[in-house]
Amino acid sequence: MDIEEEILEIKERNKRVEADKAWERSWARRVFISAITYLTAAVWLLEIGDVMPWLKALVPVAGYILSTLSLPPLKKFWIKNH
């Protein structure tokens, strides 16, 4: 394999890695995961006959959203102090 082919492969890999990183940080991903979490929790709460399942299903979603908002600052702090 010559050097030009290797460079092209590296550039393609970098594009894939950048796209993966963008997806991991995207609000589209967060909304999708939140919706699935909400529906799963609501269905479970309905199944067990809990009171106000649609409202209570928001609790795990709120926890997820708060964790995704707090992780970037925690990551920066960890990197700085590690």
Residue 6 has pLDDT above 80, yes or no: yes
Residue 1 has pLDDT above 80, yes or no: no
Contact 56, 45 (CB under 8 A): yes
- The pLDDT value recorded for residue 47 is 97
- Assigned token pair, 80: 């700085």
Contact 61, 34 (CB under 8 A): yes
Contact 40, 58 (CB under 8 A): no
pLDDT in tens, 13-54: 999 999 999 998 899 999 999 999 999 999 999 999 999 999
- Assigned token pair, 47: 């199944």
- Map residue 82 onto helix, strand or coil: coil
Global confidence as pTM: 0.74
